[in-house]
Amino acid sequence: MAGEWEVLPAAPGDVAELHVLTLACWVGEALLNDDLTIPPLHESTADTAASLAEWDTYVVRVAGRLVGSVRGRLDGTTWEIGRLMVAPDLQGRGLGRVLLEHAERVAAPSATTYRLVTGKDSEANLRRYKRAGYRVREVLGGPSGPAVLTKARRRTGRG
């Protein structure tokens, strides 16, 4: 199935589906972490629309349906990766890995580190990110943490 996934830049017309996907994914995170205060659960579609101007956001569609997304932005020399989402019915098929690799690949040239966050009790996410080379750097205060993970960016020979 991985060959079917084409990661494309998000467009304004994706906002409603991105918002629904966010809710579908973060309800599970809220339950895992016993934390209904997770910010994505309290955002509006206007917030989702505004985020497109603040983040480089990418989506994946299958048969027209928006089934995955990830976003990134530069903070100093750190490429922040956020909202890595896969529709609940497609989780476990490698799309999350594809999205994470894409987010790393499109990082700003000046980025030296990748950073992402997940719930401190989101064991599957933590395992997945550790397998990808990320390490927990700190756990912030609050019911769900979150856990902050980083990974040094490896430079290839391509300029």
Q: Would you state the pLDDT for residue 104?
A: 97
Mean predicted confidence (pLDDT) in 35-55: 94
Domain ranges of the chain: 2-152
pLDDT for 64-102, tens place per residue? Answer: 999 999 999 999 999 999 999 999 999 999 999 999 999
Burial class (CB in 10 A: 0-12, 13-18, 19+), 116: buried
**pLDDT bracket for residue 156 (50, 70, 90):** low
Tokens of 48: 């989702």
Q: Would you state the pLDDT for residue 5?
A: 87
pLDDT of residue 2 exceeding 80: no
Q: Would you state the pLDDT for residue 126?
A: 94
Q: Would you state the pLDDT for residue 33?
A: 84
List, in sequence order, every residue forming a beta bridge with 73; answer none if it has no partner.
80
The structure's pTM equals 0.91
Residue 115 CA to residue 121 CA, distance in Å, equals 18
Structure-model confidence comparison of residues 124 and 114, the more confident one: 114
pLDDT for 16-35, tens place per residue? Answer: 999 999 999 999 888 888 88
pLDDT of residue 109 exceeding 60: yes
Residue 135 CA to residue 102 CA, distance in Å, equals 19
pLDDT for 122-153, tens place per residue? Answer: 999 999 999 999 999 999 988 888 999 999 99
Scan for tokens 């972490």, then name that residue.
33
pLDDT of residue 118 exceeding 70: yes
For 2-152, CATH number out of 3.40.630.30, 3.20.20.80, 3.40.50.300, 3.40.50.720 equals 3.40.630.30
Q: Would you state the pLDDT for residue 143?
A: 84
